[in-house]
Chain A
Amino acid sequence: EDQVTQSPEALRLQEGESSSLNCSYTVSGLRGLFWYRQDPGKGPEFLFTLYSAGEEKEKERLKATLTKKESFLHITAPKPEDSATYLCAVQYGSNSGYALNFGKGTSLLVTP
């Protein structure tokens, strides 16, 4: 059973069309939830860390929020350069030292 589930798997938006990506998790004892952006053929690029329910972080057109069971990545008025795969990861309890447990990602395409 997946511990981190991201939805949708793929999302296509028109430029300027705001939307949200979802990351739900089933682990207990969450220590941190992380969002990354990954471009094709590249390593993931760190975006945000969220530690507790109610926390929010913003960066340009992106805003990440966290509840007790899920996180949302809100994209406001996206541009074509926001096209990428967005990965969510969790760190919990005493799993694998400090390793992050990843979801499968949401592939975002923003068209002009």
Chain B
Amino acid sequence: DGGITQSPKYLFRKEGQNVTLSCEQNLNHDAMYWYRQDPGQGLRLIYYSQIVNDFQKGDIAEGYSVSREKKESFPLTVTSAQKNPTAFYLCASSKGRYTEAFFGQGTRLTVV
């Protein structure tokens, strides 16, 4: 089945540690995105990538980093510089311009 796979589903991090969230898609989509969702807030864009080896900062990129070495993969690293990393992280992909995005099932990150 085609889709987007995020792993792990739950992740716990100690303060000061970097963690990497995985996102893989087999939809052959060019564009991929990372969003953050907090209670009472809409989805906020962290980073996006329109093609391999290219990515751009979204509205809240500080404390995060990404790579796009393969079309299918768009991992997100939450660095120790991110002051409030506890949140629900969602990865999405789309064919491209003016089309709907499809989402993975999310990773819930908790800092302990």
A-B CB contacts (within 8 Å), total count: 71
User: A87 and B43: CB pair below 8 A?
Assistant: yes
A112 close to B (CB within 8 Å):
no
A8 close to B (CB within 8 Å):
no
Task: Give the nearest-CB partner of A42 in chain B.
Answer: B105
User: B50 and A98: CB pair below 8 A?
Assistant: yes
Interface of B is mostly: strand
A54 close to B (CB within 8 Å):
no
User: B105 and A98: CB pair below 8 A?
Assistant: no
User: B48 and A96: CB pair below 8 A?
Assistant: yes
Given A43-B90, A49-B100, A99–B58 Cβ distance below 8 Å? yes
User: B42 and A105: CB pair below 8 A?
Assistant: yes
Interface size on A, residues (CB 8 A): 26
User: B50 and A97: CB pair below 8 A?
Assistant: yes
B16 close to A (CB within 8 Å):
no
B19 close to A (CB within 8 Å):
no
Cα of A97 to Cα of B56 in the assembled complex, Å:
9
A96 / chain B contacts, CB cutoff of 8 Å: 45, 48, 56, 58-59
A46 / chain B contacts, CB cutoff of 8 Å: 100-103
B104 / chain A contacts, CB cutoff of 8 Å: 43
B75 close to A (CB within 8 Å):
no
Closest chain A CB from B29 CB (angstroms):
10
A11 close to B (CB within 8 Å):
no
B108 / chain A contacts, CB cutoff of 8 Å: 41
Cα of A44 to Cα of B105 in the assembled complex, Å:
8
Given A32-B98, A97-B31, A43–B106 Cβ distance below 8 Å? yes
A-B pairs with beta carbons under 8 Å apart, 15 shown: A32-B98, A34-B100, A41-B108, A43-B6, A43-B90, A43-B106, A49-B100, A87-B43, A91-B98, A97-B48, A98-B94, A99-B33, A101-B45, A102-B42, A104-B41
